Amino acid sequence: MSGGPPGRAFAAVAVPIPARRVFTYEVPGALLRSVLVGSRVLVPFQTRRIVGTVVESPAPPPDPSIEVRPIEKVLDGIPTVPESVLSLTRFVSDYYLCSWGEAIEAALPAAPRTPLPPRFVRRTGAGGEEALPPQARARRRALEALPADGSPVPLAGLPPARRNALRELVRAGLAAWVEREEDGPRRRGVAGPPPLAPTPAQAAALDRLLPAASRREYAPFLLFGATGSGKTEVYLRTAEGVLASGRGVLYLVPEIGLTPLLLARISRRFEGDLAVLHSGLSAGERYRAWERIRGGGARFVLGARSAVFAPLPDPGLIVVDEEQDGSYKQEEAPRYHARDLAVVRAREEGALLLLGSATPSLESFRNARAGRYEILRLGERVESRPLAAVRIVDMRREFLETRASRPLSRDLVAELGACLARGEQALVLRNRRGWAPALHCPTCGERVSCSRCSLSLTWHRSEARLRCHYCALERPLPPCCPSCGAEGLNLLGEGTERIEEEIRSALPGARIERMDRDTVRRRGAHEAILSRFDRHEIDVLVGTQMIAKGHDFPRVTLVGVVSADQTLGLPDFRAAERTFQLLTQVAGRAGRGSAPGTVVVQAFDPAHPVLAAAAAQDYEAFYRREAEYRRALRYPPFSALVEIVVEDADPGRAAARAEILAEAVRREGEGRILVSGPGPAPIERLKSRWRRQILVRSSGRRRLVAAVDRALASVEREVPRKAILVDVDPVSLL
C-alpha cells in the first residue's frame, strides 16, 4: 500500500501538545499488528515519553532527512478511541483550532495515568467466525473459545498470544473487554411504574419522532416547551423506541442537571442499559464505563458535556436537554460546545437529534425558524397546571417609600410569610454569592479590588474574608481605604449570604438554607441540600442560579428574585439572553404541584423589556427583540464570532502582540471579515496577566475559522501560541 522502503512501516500519532500537527513514528515489526488507528501508544517526544493516539496507520513515509523514532509500546489498559469518536475529535481540532491530541484528551477526560488491565472479555454479537479472514487462525480460535451467549470469560492466566488475538477481536468489534462478570448482556427486567399515557401534545411530538427514529438518517428536532411541559417524558419514550430498534442513546444534560431525581427516573426504565458519565467518577470508574459502553454493554449513556464523546457504537438518538445551557461550552482548551458537537455527531452517525428547551438559545431557535430543525412545541404544562403569576417590584420606588435600603421588598417578605404559613416552600434567587459584592470608599470613590485582577473583592462575612472570585486571593477587611487611607469603607450591594441573613431576621423560626458555590464545595453537598429541601426539612432555599435548574419540587409555590436586572448591564452580548433564561427558569420552579405559584421579581429598572418578556413567559417576544439587536450589531447567530485574547504579565507586550495578531487576521481575512480591536478585555487584568481582546466576525464561519488559523500560524514567531486564547463561538465574553 505505502510506497516507503520495504520492511518499514509508519504511523501518524496525535500527541497532547498545543501544536496543530501530528507526528510520524516508525512501527517496529513486533507491533505491526497492534498499532491500529485509535490505539493509544507510548512514544518518545523531545526528551520525554508521552501517550499519543494513532490517527493514521499505515502513514506515508516521512521525508528521508527527518529522523523518525519508533513507537515504544501499545497501551491496552487504557481506552482505544473508536473511529467515530476519532473523527469527532478531528472536527474539534479543525473547528476550535486546537491540536488533535488535545481534542482526544478532552474526549478521554480522566484516562487513567496508570494502565488498568481489563478483567473479562466477551463476544459482542456483532458477528461470528465468518467475519474473519481464513488465515486468521489465532483470532478464530480465540473467538471460538468465547461463549456464544456473550457471557464474560476471565482474562487471568491467558497466554500473551491469546491476549493479542483477543485485542484484535476487540479492535474489530467482535469482542469487548468487560470489567465485571455481571456486565454481560442481560434480559431487561420490567421495572418501575407503568409509563404515563402521553398528553395530546406529547403524542403529537412522538408521532414525528418515532417514525424518524426508525429511518437511520440524520433528523434534527427542537423540542420547545415550558418547564414541566413533559419534555423529559418525550426524550425517554423516544429513547425506548430507539433502543428497541437496536441502536444506542446518548443523553446529555447540563453539568448540574444530573440530579438524583433524573437518575432515578431514567434508571427505573433503562437499568441494565444505563451508563452514567459524570465528573465524580474516578479515573478507573470512568475507564470501566468507557469500555462497557464501547463493548455494547451499556446502550443508554447519560452524562454532561464530555459524554458527547462517549464511544457508543451506534447512537440512534442524541438528546441535548436544556440545550441553551452555558455549561455545554468548555471554558478551557479545547473550547468545544457539546450541543454543537452533538449536531455534528448526529449527522455523522445518521441519528435523531433532539434538542430540548423552555428557552432555546438564539442559535437553535434561529436554526429552527430557518427550517434546519423541525420544531416540536409542547406548549402548556402537563394537566394544564397554570404558569406562575409573575409580579415585578420596583426597587427604586420601594426605596423612596420606605426610605431604607433593604435588599428585600415588603412585598416579598409578606409573600414569604404567607407561603410558610400555608406550609409551602419558597426559593429565593440572588445570582451573586458572598455577603457584599464590593467594598467602596466614599472618600475617594474607589472600590477595593484584587491585586492580581481588575475586579472588586467580595466580602464573605462567615469567613471574615475579602475574596476574589476569579483567582485564589483572599484577605481580611482593611481598616481603611487602601487607595486614599480614609476610614469608613462601605459594603456595597448584597450577595446570597446577606439575603439569607435578611430572610432569617424577617422570618424567625423558619428553616432557611443557602446553596451556592460556597456551600456546595464539599462533595455530595449539592445533592444533600436538594434532598433535604425535597423532604421539606428546609422552608426557604436561597441561592445562585444553582437553585434555578432541573428540580421538580411540588411544594414550592413562591419564587423570589433579588436584583433581577443586574446581570443585564454586563458587557457581554449575551447578557439579556442569560437574564431571560435564568428568570424564566426560576419562575418555572413555582407551582409545579397542584397549588399555583407566585413569582416576585425585584428590579431597579422594572420596565426593561427583557423583564417584561420573562414575566409574561413570552419567549417569542424576547426572541424578536433580541434577534433584531443581534442582527443589527452583527452578533451570533447572525454572524460567526471568534474571540481572541492576548495575555501577558507586561501590559505593553500584551498590547503590541495583540496589534500584530489583529493585523494578521485583517490581512488573512482579505476584507471579508470584520476585526474589532484590539482593546482591553472586559476583565482587563486576570491573575496578574493583562488581557487584550480582539473580536472577529464574518457571515461565513468556515472562512472565519480558516483565516484565524492562518493568522495564528503566520505570527507564530512574534506571538507564541500559549500567550493567545482563541474561542470559536464564545459563550461568554467576560
> From residue 702, how far is each of 74, 566, 639, 640 by CA, in Å?
36, 36, 12, 9
Q: How far is the CB of 197 from ligand ADP (least distance, A)?
A: 6
* Cβ-based burial of 473 (10 A; exposed 0-12, middle 13-18, buried ≥19): middle
Q: Which stretch binds ligand ADP (CB under 6 A): 6-14, 191-199, 416-424, 499-507?
A: 191-199
3-state helix, strand, coil in the chain (%, to 5): 35, 25, 40
Give CA–CA dist 117/288, Å, rounded. 10
Work out whether 591 is an interface residue with ligand ADP (CB under 6 A). no
Q: Is residue 225 part of the contact set for ligand ADP (CB under 6 A)?
A: yes
Q: Of these partners, Zn ion, ligand ADP, none, which one is at the site of residue 630 (CB under 5 to 8 Å by kind)?
A: none
Based on CB atoms, which residue is closest to ligand ADP, 225 or 254?
225
In DSSP terms, 329 is beta-bridged to: 337
Least distance to ligand ADP, CB of residue 281, Å: 25
The answer to whether residues 100 and 108 touch, using CB atoms and an 8 Å cutoff, is no
Window 153-172: contact mask with ligand ADP (x via CB under 6 A): --------------------
- What is the grid cell recorded at 457? 473583592
Q: What is the DSSP string of 140-209?
A: HHHHHTS-TT---EE-TT--HHHHHHHHHHHHTTSEEEESSGGGS--PPPP-SSPPPPPPHHHHHHHHHH
Q: Is the separation of the CB atoms in 473 and 524 below 8 Å?
A: no
Q: Which of Zn ion, ligand ADP, none does residue 367 bind to, with CB < 5 to 8 Å depending on kind?
A: none
Stretch near ligand ADP under the rule CB under 6 A, chosen from 118-126, 141-149, 221-229, 570-578: 221-229
Closer CB to ligand ADP, residue 121 or residue 274? 274
How would you write 315-330 as a 3-class SS string? EEEEEECCCCCHHHEC
430 binds, among ligand ADP, Zn ion, none (CB under 5 to 8 A by kind): none
CB of 689 to Zn ion, least distance (A): 11
Choices 57-65, 194-202, 365-373, 578-586 (CB under 6 A): range interacting with ligand ADP: 194-202
Smallest gap from Cβ 614 to ligand ADP, in A, equals 17
Phi, psi of 602 (to 5 degrees): -95, 130
Compose the 366-385 pattern: x for residues touching ligand ADP by CB under 6 A, - for all others. ----------------x---
Q: Does 585 bind ligand ADP (CB under 6 A)?
A: no
Q: How far is the CB of 468 from Zn ion (least distance, A)?
A: 3
Q: Say if strands 40-45 and 73-75 run parallel, antiparallel, or are unpaired.
A: antiparallel
Site for ligand ADP in 228-257 (CB under 6 A): 228-233
Asked if 552 interacts with ligand ADP (CB under 6 A), we say yes
Rounded Cα–Cα distance for residues 471 and 322 (Å):
29
Choose the one of ligand ADP, Zn ion, none that binds residue 230, judging by a C-beta under 5 to 8 angstroms depending on kind: ligand ADP
471 binds, among Zn ion, ligand ADP, none (CB under 5 to 8 A by kind): Zn ion
- Which of 93, 202, 357, 566 touches ligand ADP (CB under 6 A)? 202
Considering beta carbons, is residue 232 or 259 the nearer one to ligand ADP? 232
Q: Which residues contact 264 (CB under 8 A, 6 or more apart)?
A: none
The least CB distance from residue 320 to ligand ADP, in Å, is: 13
Question: What b/e string do you get for 323-341 counting C-beta neighbours within 10 Å, with b at 16 or more?
Answer: bbbbbbbbeebbbbbbbbb
Taking a C-beta distance cutoff of 8 angstroms, is the pair 196, 308 a contact? no
Q: In the numeric block, which cell numbers belong to residue 358?
A: 423552555
Indicate which single residue of 199, 359, 449, 496 sits in contact with ligand ADP (rule: CB under 6 A): 199
Q: From CA 687, how far away is CA 671, in angstroms rounded? A: 35
* The dihedral sign for the CA sequence 40, 41, 45, 48: positive
Q: What is the per-residue DSSP string for 511-523?
A: -EEEESTTTT-ST
Which of ligand ADP, Zn ion, none binds 606 (CB below 5-8 Å, type-dependent)? none
Q: Could you tell me which stretch among 109-117, 151-159, 192-200, 444-452 binds ligand ADP (CB under 6 A)?
A: 192-200
Rg (CA), the chain: 28
Q: Does residue number 220 form part of the binding site for ligand ADP (CB under 6 A)?
A: no
Out of ligand ADP, Zn ion, none, which partner does residue 229 contact, by CB within 5 to 8 A per kind? ligand ADP
Spatial contact of 14 and 99, defined as CB atoms under 8 Å apart: yes
- Judged by CB under 6 A, the stretch of 227-235, 625-633, 689-697, 721-729 that binds ligand ADP is 227-235
Residue 228 contact among Zn ion, ligand ADP, none, beta carbon within 5 to 8 Å by kind: ligand ADP
Query: Is 684 in contact with 671 (CB distance < 8 Å)?
Result: no
Q: Which one of Zn ion, ligand ADP, none is in contact with 199 (Cβ closer than 5 to 8 A by kind)?
A: ligand ADP
604 binds, among ligand ADP, Zn ion, none (CB under 5 to 8 A by kind): none
Choose between 158 and 471: whose C-beta lies nearer to Zn ion.
Answer: 471
Helical (H) or strand (E) element with 135: none
Q: Which candidate, 253, 264, 358, places its Cα nearest to that of 308?
A: 253
382 binds, among ligand ADP, Zn ion, none (CB under 5 to 8 A by kind): ligand ADP
Binding site for Zn ion (CB under 5 A): 450, 452-453, 468, 470-471, 473
d(CA 583, CA 646): 34
Cell numbers given for 135: 488465515
- Give me the 324-363 binding string for ligand ADP, x by CB under 6 A, dash otherwise: ----------------------------------------
Residues near ligand ADP (CB under 6 A) are 196-199, 202, 225, 227-233, 382, 552
